Amino acid sequence: MATKKKTKKEDDKTEPKGYSLHIGLNRVSKKHYDGWDGALRAPEADAIAMQELAKDAGFKKSIRLLSARAKRDAVVDRMLEFAKDLEPGDLFFLSYSGHGGQAKDLNQDEFDRLDETWCLYDGQLLDDEIFWCLSKFREGVRIVAMIDCCHSGTSLKAIQEKQKEDPYPRRYKKVVPMDVLLKTLKKNWDFYKKVGSAKKLKGVQEKIGASVIQISACQDDEVAYDGHKNSLFTEYLLKVWKKGKFKGTHKALHREISEQIPFGSPNYFTFGPKMASFTRKKPFTI
């Protein structure tokens, strides 16, 4: 008996899709950050490089948000749009490069009572809000995230690196000066109080159905670094990736970056349902 030939529409349903979102900020709004523009050199180039990597890997839809376009609502809206479109088996690639910050944990789900943040153009995006966006992706969707920013640890104190003498000028650190962070939070307290205490964010990490792999530039008690062309972590990610010639798994990618990068300890972790077939794949494989 002859088999029925599938229509193009039916074929499209069985082929996994790859969508990506790339965020890079060389500056932020002085208005929100109390006169500080957060000037950096490389994050926009990082976002462009990650988008090019995605296109080379076969991602069909890719969006890039740079500096003034990388506003809170724009980032959230793009993630929610992708969450609505992607089906089980599809892959979402998320990258962020810019400053990392902190804000008071108002829904009491952080051991250190501080939320880590992305410093977007018009305000910080709390980690709870990022998790809430990720919780909207369907179970069975795969998410890989490459995050190139500092995470300032467990207290609002100056970060002290522990491993080696710092080989890079202080001006290249992608960390918000503590006086700027405190003034920003004080100036915009009503705003952060409202978003940070929203009921929808309570326990959101436990609601994530997608399988997420994240590789980030550093540990919580370290800082990430800017650069002349690309930020330090992104530079070594691209070096190890070798324009797709890299053949290992996600863990192998993290390990090789960690072995080669001259400073800092890139982090690897997963959350959401475990999916062995995902973790064993070559990164960015749709």
The answer to whether residue 206 scores a pLDDT higher than 80 is: no
- 0.85 surpassed by pTM: yes
**Strands of the chain, DSSP E:** 18-24, 61-66, 91-97, 100-104, 114-120, 123-126, 142-148, 151-152, 211-216, 221-222, 267-271
The string of pLDDT tens digits covering residues 177-187 is 889 989 999 99
Instruction: Give the count of alpha carbons within 13 A of 49, CB side only.
Output: 23
Instruction: Kindly list the domain boundaries of the chain, sorted by start residue.
Output: 15-279
pLDDT, tens digit (0-9, with 9 covering 90-100), for 48-58: 999 999 999 99
Residues 6+ apart with CB under 8 A from 281: 249, 250
Record the tokens describing residue 53, joined without a space. 């990597």
pLDDT at 113: 52
Is the CA virtual torsion 63, 151, 105, 36 positive or negative?
Answer: negative
Question: What mean pLDDT is predicted for residues 262-286?
Answer: 92
Lowest-confidence pick of 21-30, 79-88, 109-118, 194-203: 109-118
Average pLDDT over residues 241-262: 96
In which band, very low, low, confident or very high, does the pLDDT at 105 lie, cut at 50, 70 and 90?
low
Q: pLDDT tens digits, residue range 128-171?
A: 899 999 999 999 999 999 999 986 333 323 333 344 455 555 44
- Domain 15-279: which topology? Rossmann fold (3.40.50)
Strands (E), 217-274: 221-222, 267-271
- Residues 257 and 239: their CA atoms lie apart, in Å, by 8
Q: Report which of residues 26 and 160 the model is more confident about.
A: 26
Q: Name the E strands within 81-234.
A: 91-97, 100-104, 114-120, 123-126, 142-148, 151-152, 211-216, 221-222
Q: Which amino acid is at 265?
A: S
